Amino acid sequence: MKRIISEEEKNRKVKKNQLIVGGVLIFLMIFSTLGFAFSNRLDINNEKIKYKDIKFIKDSNTGYWNFKINEIDFSTQYNPRETEDIYISNSLTINNYLNKPLYFVGENPEAVSEIARNLNSFVTRTNYACLENEKCSGDFPVKDCSQDNIIIVKDVKENEENKIYQQENCVFIAANYANQLRYADRFLFGVLGVQ
């Protein structure tokens, strides 16, 4: 059997529920405002530079420099100022890679991944390959610089010069292992027309 509730008790219960709901809403509004202010404050702490009319913003969480060119997002480990000292002998532009497969030869996964991630929206696919007439450490398709776009990331010996150079459709990023990612970013800036 249900207890009979007076009108006064019913009104008190409704008022109590309204106060609880109102309190929860006020609590949510205050903390969402604080959360928004805090998230904007974190964005203020991100380092920013402008290079040739392109804004580079370093994401403090990932350490990557994020930038846009023609409304396309890119991210690199280094910014163009950090790679200005690297000479590049390469006449290829993004148009040379547009709607074509891109192949990689090399054992530095960070450098290869950096280039592949940033050029992925321009090429039809990326894959590792073996160069014709060279020893290969994997079971990859054999490709030729005269016909295929290939990026070779290779380690240099102690006396060799670190450099980026081109032979036909092949780009060689020749640097000691510790510098290969920085050289890969310099290659990207060249291809994208940033440097």
pLDDT at 194: 92
Q: Which of 195, 188, 173 is nearest to 84 (CA)?
A: 195
Global pTM reads 0.74
pLDDT at 136: 83
Radius of gyration, CA atoms only, the chain: 28
Structure tokens at 39: 């998230």
pLDDT at 169: 93
pLDDT at 188: 96
Q: Taking the CA of residue 155 as centre, how many other CA atoms within 13 Å lie in the half-sphere pointing to its CB?
A: 7
pLDDT at 132: 84
pLDDT at 40: 47
C-alpha 59: how far from chain center: 10
Residue with tokens 């007439």, as numbered in its chain? 133
Do 174 and 159 meet the contact criterion of CB atoms below 8 Å apart?
no
**Tens of each residue's pLDDT in the chain, 195 residues:** 667 777 787 788 778 777 777 777 776 777 677 665 555 444 556 899 999 999 999 999 999 999 999 999 999 999 999 999 999 988 889 999 999 999 999 889 999 999 999 999 999 999 999 998 888 878 899 999 999 999 999 999 888 899 999 999 999 999 999 999 999 999 999 999 998
